[in-house]
């Protein structure tokens, strides 16, 4: 698949996950041809807009809408890293690379000795979030039990000695692409846990896997056979 086509599917899949998480908080977004928009208070770390086309058509009007609805701040994910949103008073928070893994044979399992299982109860969900957010600033709950009722989303946890030590989120939308996000694992054996997490997604769906990252995490995904298909940028105000 051409990189541009893969990037568009990555962006759509990521917007679908954002919508699922926001929906679980009672604030679903709205999809148009060019942008996913969510102008209300939502969960921490999730943007208020995700661009879905490279043209950037209509983004000025959407930013004006966000500015009016959210005078204390909002964020925008420019999925194609083509917009200069500084003219609207936003600053670029970070850049990252979309990554894409075709439906080839899965990578070899990492051999961590952990048992992977899908989260199924609110108690397990709270333990998952506690492990995922360790060391991060307080944010309130992001993953609510309503998310467990969403058939397109799976939260996967790796346990050793009964304790969650690693995990990730998988989401699959109408396009048939599985998103890989929110991966966490201890530094010791991190690459092995990452390989096991990707293998779990392959066993679930068997199709293409999409995601994004930067730095060492991006290098780890590329080492598993993912390919970079284009950059994205996250902008925030203030």
pTM for this entry = 0.96
> Which residues, 6 or more positions from 233, have their beta carbon under 8 angstroms from its beta carbon?
77, 78, 81, 83, 92, 93, 94, 95, 96
Q: ∠ at Cα 115 (208, 214), nearest 5°? A: 45
Token pair listed for 188? 């010791």
6 with 80: CB under 8 angstroms? no
With CA atoms as reference, report the closest residue to 115 among 67, 164, 148.
164
Q: Report, as an integer, the average pLDDT of 140-146.
A: 96
Does 109 have pLDDT greater than 70? Answer: no
- The predicted-structure confidence for 155-192, as pLDDT tens digits, reads as follows 999 999 999 999 999 999 888 899 999 999 999 999 99
Per-residue pLDDT, 139: 83
- The predicted-structure confidence for 67-100, as pLDDT tens digits, reads as follows 999 999 999 999 999 999 999 999 999 999 999 9
Residue entry with tokens 């096991």? 196
Beta strand spans in 59-162 (E): 74-78, 91-101, 115-118, 153-160
Q: How far is CA 147 from the centre of its chain?
A: 14
Pairing of strands 74-78, 49-51: parallel
Domains of the chain: residue spans and CATH: 3-99+233-237 (no CATH), 115-228 (3.40.630.30)
Q: Which helix (H) or strand (E) holds 141?
A: none
């Amino acid at each position: 698949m051409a990189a541009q086509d893969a990037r568009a599917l990555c962006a759509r899949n990521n917007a679908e996950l954002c919508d699922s998480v926001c929906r679980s908080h009672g604030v679903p977004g709205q999809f148009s041809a060019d942008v996913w928009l969510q102008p209300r208070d939502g969960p921490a770390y999730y943007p208020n807009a995700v661009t879905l086309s490279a043209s950037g058509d209509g983004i000025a009007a959407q930013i004006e809408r966000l500015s009016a609805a959210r005078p204390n701040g909002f964020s925008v994910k420019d999925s194609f890293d083509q917009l200069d949103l500084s003219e609207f008073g936003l600053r670029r928070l970070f850049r990252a690379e979309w990554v894409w893994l075709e439906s080839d044979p899965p990578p070899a399992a990492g051999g961590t000795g952990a048992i992977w299982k899908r989260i199924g109860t609110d108690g397990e969900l709270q333990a998952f979030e506690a492990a995922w957010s360790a060391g991060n600033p307080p944010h309130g709950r992001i993953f609510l039990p309503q998310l467990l009722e969403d058939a397109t989303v799976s939260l996967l946890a790796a346990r050793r000695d009964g304790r969650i030590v690693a995990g990730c989120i998988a989401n699959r939308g109408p396009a048939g692409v599985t998103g890989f996000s929110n991966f966490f694992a201890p530094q010791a054996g991190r690459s092995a846990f990452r390989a096991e997490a990707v293998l779990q997604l392959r066993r679930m769906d068997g199709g293409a896997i999409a995601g994004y990252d930067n730095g060492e995490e991006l290098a780890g995904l590329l080492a598993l056979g993912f390919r970079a298909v284009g950059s994205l940028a996250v902008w925030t105000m203030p």
